[in-house]
Amino acid sequence: MKVGIVMGSKSDYPVVERTEKMLDKFGVEYVTRVISAHRTPHAAEAFASGAEENGIEVIIAAAGKAAHLGGVLAAFTPVPVIGLPVKSSTLDGLDSLLSIVQMPKGIPVATVAIDGAENAGILAVQILSVKYPELRQAMREYKQEMAEGVMEADREIGGR
C-alpha cells in the first residue's frame, strides 16, 4: 500500500508533514514530491500517468492559491485523488478550496478542509482499507481512541 503526496510548492510542506505523520501512524508507505501544475506540468503528467505502475494507490495533492494540481493529476490517472487546499496569504485558502472542489464532470477530486492535512491522511487510509483489512481494523481502533479521549475529557470537567 502506497500513497503519493504531491505539493505544488515546498512552502506547502509544513501542512503536508502532518499528513505524513498520520500515514506513519497507520504504517502506510508514501512518497512525497514537489511538482507544480503550472511550472512543471509535464512532470505532473508523468507522475500521475505512472502512479499506478509505481504502486501508488491513492494520491494526495496539496496546493494553494489557484490549486489546480489535484485536477491535473486526476486527469492523468485512474487512481483516486484527494485534494488538500493549503491556506494562502491571498484569501485565507478559500481560493485554494474552491479551485480544488469545483472539478468538471468525470474528473473528481475528493477534497478536505483548508489545511486539513490529518483528514487527507485519514481519508487515504480509509480508501486503502477497502483493499487492506488491517487498515480497516486500525481505523476502527483509531476512532475508538478518539471516542475514549472525548469521554475522558467529559469526565475531567464533571460529566458523569
What gap in Å lies between CA 86 and CA 142, rounded to an integer? 25
Tell me, rounded to whole angstroms, the distance of Cα 30 from its chain centroid.
Answer: 11
Residue 76: the pLDDT is: 98
C-alpha cell at 34: 514537489
Q: What angle do CA 95, 97, 102 make, to 5 degrees?
A: 100
Residue 160 has pLDDT above 70, yes or no: no
**Residue 89 pLDDT > 90, yes or no?**
no
Question: Who has greater pLDDT, 37 or 159?
Answer: 37
pLDDT at residue number 118? 98
- Give the pLDDT confidence score for residue 66 in this predicted structure: 86
Phi (first) and psi of residue 36, to 5 degrees: -95, 130
- The pLDDT tens digits of the residues spanning 113-146 come to 999 999 999 999 999 999 999 999 999 999 999 9
Integer Cα distance of 66 and 73 in angstroms: 14
Rounded CA-CA distance 23/136 in Å is 14
Is 112 within 8 Å of 82 (Cβ atoms)? yes
pLDDT reading at 159 higher than 80: no
Residue 110 pLDDT greater than 80, yes or no = yes
pLDDT digits (tens, 9 = 90+) for 28-79: 999 999 999 999 999 999 999 999 999 999 999 999 998 999 999 999 999 9
Q: What is the pTM of this model?
A: 0.95
Cα–Cα distance between 89 and 21 in angstroms, integer? 25
Query: 116, 84 in Cβ contact below 8 A?
Result: yes
